[in-house]
Amino acid sequence: MDLNLTDEQRLLRESAERFVAESYDADHRRKMANDPLGFSPAVWTQFAELGWLALPIAEEFDGLSGSAVEIGILMEAFGRGLVSEPYIATIVLGAALIERCGSTAQKRAILPKIADGSLKLALAHSERAARFDLAKVATTAHKTAQGWRLAGSKIAVLDGHAADEIIVSAHIHDHQGPSARIGLFLVPATTPSVAISDYERLGGGRACNIELSDVQLPKDALLGNGHDAQPAIEWAVDRAMAALGAEAVGIMQVLLDTTLEYTKIRKQFGRPLSANQVIRHRLADMAVQVDEARSMALRAALKVDADPVERARAASGAKAKIGRSARFVGEQSIQLHGGMGVTEELEVGAYFKRLVAFDTLFGGSAHHYGRHARLGRTTVPA
């Protein structure tokens, strides 16, 4: 058992925090908010140069074989700056699924390009009728003489508009008819009959909905050999939730620091707001919840490679608890800023909106406490 950061991890934290402090200021964020792409390709190139895109990829595919703890360190710094680059979509979800499900040829073709920044990915999995149930997929993939034919609708695809290749999940229908297997298919963004409608995402960045109308794909579009990809999707989303939890911690820390400063400066009734015990106790509660969130994000990161039930419970527990803390810290930050907190003139609102988006992504607290409870049962109801 060891809970201390290594020297390399400390350096990573310093360089990520320095990058965010120097390059990712309020002006940059405002520019990105009005940008049709929603992020900066120049920043993405910098990420590649810093080795951050290669971080979790295996060394044999030009990566650095980093762990979820390092991803968490990076994500916490990203949260401080409200970084909007497609890191979760391309690296945490995309690269991980390629590495876990892809054939050696697919990994060789794709992973080095992700690491050097020349290729971006997105995962199109969620569907309206499924809500947050990762096992529910209505999109179909029919086997054809030439390869595959995909049909269906995907929603809330993170950064799909910017991706070169989109990983689409679909129920496999082969010669014997419908199977119980979900396959993952690599769909180039320029494929005919793939309609991408993107939109500004709450809290920064962009997302999209995708219509697949009888999309024709070659045989090798299927990742790997067609084994059921459902466990891999659960695995990848659990990793993404751990990473997003760390990002939320960075966001919450900024809100706590900003709100604390404000209550020291803002005077009413002839004294600073922070002179009131009701305000001090509120801030103490916020500090406690930020600290608990930090513990939960770290715990989820340390358990991403545990057995599936333990991993999923750690991820859902973290998502549920951090989601709840995020709402509390965000809402109280606005409350303590008074009327100004509700305006676009301060950045409190921008940080809050990213937290609301975090709580919603992959399911809110109620969903994840429910998943945690279901997975924790030692006996099944009769």
Partner 1 sequence: MDLSFNAEERAFQDEVRGFIARNLTDEMKRATALTPSVFSDPDIGMAWQRTLHKQGWGAPGWPVEHGGPDWTPAQRWIFETESARAGVPNVNVMGVKMVGPVIIGFGSPEQKNFYLPRILSGEDYWCQGYSEPGSGSDLSSLKTRAVRDGDDYIINGTKIWTTHAHHANRMFALVRTSDGPRQQDGISFILIDMKTPGITTRPILTIGGDHEVNQVFFDDVRVPVANRVGEEGKGWTYGKYLLEFERGSGIASAKLREGLKAIADLAESDLTGRAIDSPDIATRISEVEVDIDALEMTELRVLAALQTGQNPGAVSSILKLRNSEIRQAVTRLGVDVIGHDALAVEPMRPLYKLNHEPAMPEEMLTVVPEYLNGRAYTIFGGTSEIQRDIIAKMMLGI
Interacting residues toward partner 1 by CB under 8 A: 1-5, 9, 69, 260, 263-264, 274, 277, 280-281, 283-285, 287-288, 291-293, 295-296, 298-299, 302-303, 314, 317, 320-321, 366, 369-370, 372-374, 376-379, 381
CA atoms within 13 A on the CB side of 328: 19
Alpha-carbon 30 to chain mean position: 21
Let me know how long the chain is.
382
User: 153 and 200 in contact (C-beta within 8 Å)?
Assistant: no
Alpha-carbon dihedral 243, 244, 247, 248, rounded to 10 degrees: -140
Token pair listed for 124: 């199109």
Nearer to partner 1, 307 or 345 (CB): 307
Least distance from partner 1 to the Cβ atom of residue 363, Å: 14
Nearer to partner 1, 240 or 297 (CB): 297
Which residues does residue 222 pair with via DSSP β-bridges, in sequence order?
A: 185
CA–CA separation, 5 and 211 (whole Å): 44
CA–CA separation, 266 and 275 (whole Å): 10
Nearer to partner 1, 178 or 376 (CB): 376
Give Dmax (Cα) for the chain. Answer: 80
Question: Shortest CA distance to 229 belongs to which of 194, 190, 186?
Answer: 186
CA–CA separation, 215 and 187 (whole Å): 9
CA–CA separation, 181 and 169 (whole Å): 10
Least distance from partner 1 to the Cβ atom of residue 348, Å: 17
Least distance from partner 1 to the Cβ atom of residue 369, Å: 5
Least distance from partner 1 to the Cβ atom of residue 302, Å: 5
Question: Shortest CA distance to 272 belongs to which of 289, 259, 256, 254?
Answer: 259
Nearer to partner 1, 107 or 282 (CB): 282
Instruction: Provide the pairing of β-strand 177-188 with 121-124.
Output: unpaired
Token pair listed for 285: 């509660």
Output the CA torsion sign for 242, 247, 253, 259. Answer: negative
Nearer to partner 1, 227 or 264 (CB): 264
Nearer to partner 1, 186 or 293 (CB): 293
Question: Shortest CA distance to 293 belongs to which of 260, 263, 330, 264?
Answer: 330
Least distance from partner 1 to the Cβ atom of residue 76, Å: 14
CA–CA separation, 201 and 319 (whole Å): 19
Least distance from partner 1 to the Cβ atom of residue 298, Å: 6
CA–CA separation, 49 and 52 (whole Å): 8
Nearer to partner 1, 34 or 378 (CB): 378
Nearer to partner 1, 185 or 362 (CB): 362
Least distance from partner 1 to the Cβ atom of residue 92, Å: 18
Least distance from partner 1 to the Cβ atom of residue 318, Å: 8
Least distance from partner 1 to the Cβ atom of residue 261, Å: 10
Question: Shortest CA distance to 236 belongs to which of 182, 290, 285?
Answer: 182
Nearer to partner 1, 112 or 272 (CB): 272
Nearer to partner 1, 114 or 293 (CB): 293
Least distance from partner 1 to the Cβ atom of residue 358, Å: 17
Task: Report the 3 state secondary structure along 115-145.
Answer: HCCCCCEEEECCCHHHCCCCCCCCCEEEECC
